[in-house]
Each structure stands twice: as structure tokens, then as C-alpha cells.
Amino acid sequence: PAIWVITVDAQTGDILHRYNNFQTIDAQGVGVLGDTKKFQVSNGAGGFVMQDASLGVTLRTFSAKQKEAARGTIVASNSATSWDTGTAGKGAAVDAHFNAGVVFDFYKKVLNRSALDGKGTAMLSTVHYGQGMDNAFWDGQRMAYGDGSQLFKPLAQSLDVVGHEFTHGVTENESGLVYQTQSGALNESVSDIFGSIIEHYLTPDDAKNMVLGEDIGLSGPLRDMKNPGAGSQPAHMSKLVKTSQDNGGVHT
């Protein structure tokens, strides 16, 4: 996005000078774990909205307000320094918006890829999906995060979970992996790997970043990439799980 202000020579038509007058707003908010994060927002009705158009790709963060809404309403605030301060999943929007920016940054700077489809399509996130949903998902157009209840804290807080789910969008655009049995498990594995890599890109830690969801699991991490057996996952093809559940065991 740009608002080009251009000075043109009236006689020759040559461009003498130009600059981008597209103005973004520095904002900050407190995430699920009480940490302060900085991010970009835009002007909105009565204040500001969680829309970052400073990257060449638009990032938008919505709230489903504890409903199973298709998208929800864009997260808004009358202050650039106070966001998502409600009770259920407090701060999840801050984490989702910030983490989506990290995912975009990784794919652009490390792999020279413009967003999930490589064409700069907007990256959309929806927080507070459903009532205490212990899950997050990619639905083909956007990311959605539950606030957790029995198993997890709000899932948007975890960068490797955010990286995992958005990478499903990359896989969807780059391969024909059918989401069943072994091809579906490969799909999930690619997301796990990139979730770890993206977390390591922001905060390098050879030990911590080998486990997924370590900061949101109420009874431990989701999976251990270095020692799969520690998370009750098969560590070798000899332990291949054959089941009719979970689309043929795509998560195992």
C-alpha cells in the first residue's frame, strides 16, 4: 500500500521527486502472558483498528467474541496503547496480531515469499473463537484461535502455533497433499517444522524451540520435535499409527 506524492517536471514529464505518504501508527498492547508487544495499526472509527498495512501485505485481526463466527469484527480501541482488555482470553488479539507479523516477516526476509500464497494476499486472524475452544485452525482463508479452557491457555499466544497454522496456508498453495493418512501427516509435519523455525527466527533457543506449544499447554507441550516419543508420538515408521480417527491420524 502506498500514497505516492510525486513532483513532476511540467515541461519534460520527468519525475523529480517522490515519497510514500502512507502513514501507519505505532501501537503497543499487553499479551496473554502480561508481556508488552509493539505493532502497527490503522485509524478507524472512533480510534484505531488492528490493521497493519505497512508491510506491502495487509494484516488484520478480528474477534469472534466467543462465537463461532465466520470472521468476526475487526479488533478496535480508542487508545493505541490499550488493546483486547476483556476477561476471556485477555490479550489474545495482541499476540495474534504481533505473531502474524513475525510469520510474514520470516517468509518475506528469509524465503522472499510475499505472504501465504506468494502473491501478497492479506493475512487474517480471528481470536476468541468459540467458548473456551482448546484448538486453533486454518480454514483456507484465515487463522482462528480459541481461548483455551481444559488443555491450553489462549492459543494465539504461542508463536510456534501461529507459525504452524499459517504454514498450512503455504502448504495449501504449494502442494496437493491430501489431508488424510500419511499425506495429511506430512502436511502437519511441515507446519510443525516451520512453527519451530519461525519461533527460532525470533528468539533463538536450541532446546526450547524443539518443542511445540510449550508456553500454552496446561499439562505440557503439544509435541517434541527432538524426542517424539516424549509426547506419545511415533518416532519411527515401524510405529506407524493406523486409525480411522483424525482423518487417518494426521496428528500422529
In contact, 145 and 96? CB cutoff 8 Å: yes
Residue 180 burial class via C-beta count within 10 angstroms: exposed 0-12, middle 13-18, buried 19 and up: middle
Q: Closest Cα partner for 168 from 141, 183, 187, 185?
A: 187
248: left (phi over 0), alpha (psi -120 to 50) or beta: left
CA distance 221 to 110: 27
Instruction: Supply the Cα-derived Rg of the chain in whole angstroms.
Output: 20
CA distance 183 to 172: 12
Catalytic residue among 97, 128, 165, 168: 165
Q: H-helix or E-strand containing 172?
A: helix 159-174
In contact, 196 and 202? CB cutoff 8 Å: no
For the chain, the straight-line distance linking the first and the last C-alpha, in angstroms and rounded, comes to 42
214 is catalytic: no
165 is catalytic: yes
Active site residues: 165, 251
